Homo-oligomer: A and B are copies of this chain.
Amino acid sequence: MQPKPMLFSALTTALAPTISLAQTAEAMPPADEIGYIFNTFMFLVTGFLVFWMAAGFSMLEAGLVRSKNVAMQLTKNIALFSIAAIMFHLVGYNLLYPGEGWTISGVLGAFAPAVLEPVGGSAQTDLSYASVGSDFFFQMMFCATTASIVSGALAERIRLWPFLIFTLVLTGLIYPVEASWKWGGGFLDTVFGFQDFAGSTLVHSAGGWAALAGALILGPRLGKYGPGGKVNALPGSNLTLATLGTFILWLGWFGFNGGSQLYMNSAGNVADISRIFANTNAGAAGGALAALGLTQLLYRKIDLTMVLNGALAGLVSITAEPLAPSLGMAAQIGALGGVIVVIAVPLLDRLRIDDVVGAIPVHLVAGIWGTLAVLFSNDEATLVGQVVPILIVGAFVFSVSGAVWLILKATLGLRVDAEAEAKGLDRAELGMEAYPEFTNG
């Protein structure tokens, strides 16, 4: 807000002024603020990486839908992120972190908009943690991620506004409430000792359950399933974008898992964040290679979309416990995630659950696997303490989501009509095309 002090800097090389002791003294952060600066900056950096995942989901989904639905899918993605940003401010943040202000202790948080510390920081700041602004920024991105998972599964047939209204409920209520049960110090934490480091269950399965409820109520795309169990492939329009999206998500995941360490104010904490980065990478690599090898074995041909989803499933699998495993174990946990995807995708099709991008295998099924895999490396995890919370979160998200979807279906209607679906949502609902100059086959 003041003129930038390059006044000084530019001079340093030119005129080499002597530095007064007073200026030098000013340069030192008070010693008790150093840890706070480290923690806060860590949240900002990992937070912008998680923001970047919004672009990753957009590209992945735009690449995996047919070109006639691409503009709509992009619109949904940018809108859902924006809604998440506003809702997390208005209600989500305090629902998730009620502190001592629970509405129902350990179950339902507090209702109030988020308030950041004042400009210049606050004298009341707890220097052992990080700034509220950075914490809000980081946690908001998790909320948006949960909503991103839903959009892909329901693509190519759901109407825009009902989807956005669902997003509003998911980001303003469903996600913050269930996540508060663990991360806000709620009953999953205090009663069950549930271990879910960065959210295989709280974020990924939760998004997956919401997507599953939606997919069941919405029904499959026209022409996806034929008589006699026939499954028609409806290939994505742009695998380059899908691959780009996967790389973006992979990158963002370093922030997603790494930032969940919450602290970078000691050698031990930053070494742990390093472990998490390396393990997250190993999990993704394991998932990609497992899917690559398995599709080669099963189908004699490698399926790129399976490899991409394998990498993502590896990432989801390692998310519940990215710190404790060794590098080798992390790769194996991820690899099993990749195997799960290759098995679960055709299984879902057999059940005639149409999930356009594979979000349910990747986020729900691999999310459950990852949450159970915590048992192999983290002594604090117990079988009951992992399984029961998985079921509770699943039952809660699935039932509340299902209720919201059913209400939306009964009122506004969820689905575009058959003509619009055949024509494509871009021209039917938006009146525009993503690639107007390219002839469609």
B116/A15 in contact, CB under 8 A: no
Shortest CB-to-CB span from A119 to chain B, Å, is 6
Which of A22-30, A218-226, A343-351, A408-416 makes up part of the contact surface?
A22-30
Which of A204-212, A385-393, A431-439 makes up part of the contact surface?
A431-439
Q: Which of B34, B139, B288 contacts A78 (CB 8 A)?
A: B288
In the assembly, what is the distance between CA of A75 and CA of B16, in Å?
Answer: 41
B44/A277 in contact, CB under 8 A: yes
B268/A121 in contact, CB under 8 A: yes
Interface size on A, residues (CB 8 A): 176
Contacts of A151 in B (CB 8 A): none
Shortest CB-to-CB span from A249 to chain B, Å, is 11
Shortest CB-to-CB span from A347 to chain B, Å, is 21
Contacts of A25 in B (CB 8 A): 32
B55/A99 in contact, CB under 8 A: no
Shortest CB-to-CB span from A43 to chain B, Å, is 8
* Residue of A18, A186, A235 with highest tally of chain B CB at under 10 A: A235
**Chain B residue at minimum C-beta to C-beta distance from A440:** B437
Which of A126-134, A356-364, A365-373, A399-407 makes up part of the contact surface?
A126-134
Contacts of A62 in B (CB 8 A): 240, 243
Shortest CB-to-CB span from A124 to chain B, Å, is 4
Shortest CB-to-CB span from A187 to chain B, Å, is 11
Contacts of A271 in B (CB 8 A): 40, 117, 120-122, 125, 131-134
State whether A55 and B127 are in contact (beta carbons under 8 Å apart), knowing that A13-B117, A235-B433 are contacts in the complex.
no
**Chain B residue at minimum C-beta to C-beta distance from A109:** B10
B129/A8 in contact, CB under 8 A: yes
**Chain B residue at minimum C-beta to C-beta distance from A236:** B436
Contacts of A70 in B (CB 8 A): 239-240
A82/B288 in contact, CB under 8 A: yes
B16/A78 in contact, CB under 8 A: no
**Chain B residue at minimum C-beta to C-beta distance from A283:** B85
Shortest CB-to-CB span from A246 to chain B, Å, is 7
* Interface membership of A317, Cβ < 8 A: no
**Chain B residue at minimum C-beta to C-beta distance from A100:** B11
State whether A9 and B132 are in contact (beta carbons under 8 Å apart), knowing that A32-B24, A240-B241 are contacts in the complex.
yes
Contacts of A238 in B (CB 8 A): 240, 434-435
Give A10-67 interface residues, CB cut-off 8 Å to B: 10-19, 23-38, 40-45, 47-49, 51-52, 54-55, 58-59, 62-63, 66-67
Q: Return 18 A-B CB contacts under 8 Å, by A number.
A: A1-B323, A9-B135, A12-B117, A12-B132, A15-B99, A27-B129, A40-B270, A41-B270, A51-B254, A78-B307, A82-B286, A130-B274, A240-B241, A301-B429, A301-B430, A302-B429, A304-B432, A438-B441
With A30-B267, A121-B267 known, 9 other A-B pairs at CB within 8 A are A3-B185, A4-B184, A7-B99, A17-B124, A44-B277, A51-B281, A66-B437, A131-B270, A235-B436
